[in-house]
A and B are shown apart, each in its own frame.
Chain A
Amino acid sequence: ETGVTQTPRHLVMGMTNKKSLKCEQHLGHNAMYWYKQSAKKPLELMFVYSLEERVENNSVPSRFSPECPNSSHLFLHLHTLQPEDSALYLCASSQEWGTGGYEQYFGPGTRLTVT
């Protein structure tokens, strides 16, 4: 496989469930990102990892918990979500973090619905 992959593509979960989103990048990049995309709103950056260390955490509720076991994999663990958390969750990677000029490569996203 090439590029950035995400699983699952669609997820429906109840507010009491626990689930995880998975992202894998095959580009040899050093930085990985989680974004939330809601209709007609800008992309919201949730977390950034650089060389497997979390470098940004933008006031995200604790019901979202990221994990980066190595530079190719990124997880987003979900628990006790709210209906307003329903959105498209995008994973991205870039060659480096904290320096300009490097575009981000996005995965296809996970469409999450919280019931």
Chain B
Amino acid sequence: GQNIDQPTEMTATEGAIVQINCTYQTSGFNGLFWYQQHAGEAPTFLSYNVLDGLEEKGRFSSFLSRSKGYSYLLLKELQMKDSASYLCAVFNSNYQLIWGAGTKLIIKP
């Protein structure tokens, strides 16, 4: 089968750094996405990785290791507005998007 594993929930402190991990087992790989979803709102695109390494976008960075089937999303200088669910999704060899269940991130003052 195909699946994406991510922690269900994480808690971090405002101003700190948090890393959200994602491991995947899919039939082939054609890229990995991270999305952010605030409660009651639509998912919004954060990042896309298709090659190994780190992609940085302001306070957010995403890392990919294809050989390990592993990615992480790194959030720096956490703000209260970063409280949301973070969804990991992988394009398999047929360009079907396989989704994880999401990680709910709670930021405390």
Contact = CB atoms under 8 A, between A and B. Distances in A.
A105 B50 contact: no
B8 A107 contact: no
Nearest to A99: B95
B44 A106 contact: yes
A43 B87 contact: yes
The interface size bin for chain A is 20 to 34
Given A42-B4, A42-B101, A43-B87, A100 B95 contact: yes
Contacts of A4: 42
A109 to B, nearest CB: 6
A107 B89 CA distance: 18
Contacts of A99: 95
B43 interface: yes
B70 interface: no
Nearest to A39: B101
Given A40-B8, A40-B101, A42-B4, A104 B42 contact: no
Interface of B: 4, 8, 30-31, 33, 41-45, 48, 50, 87, 89, 91, 95-102
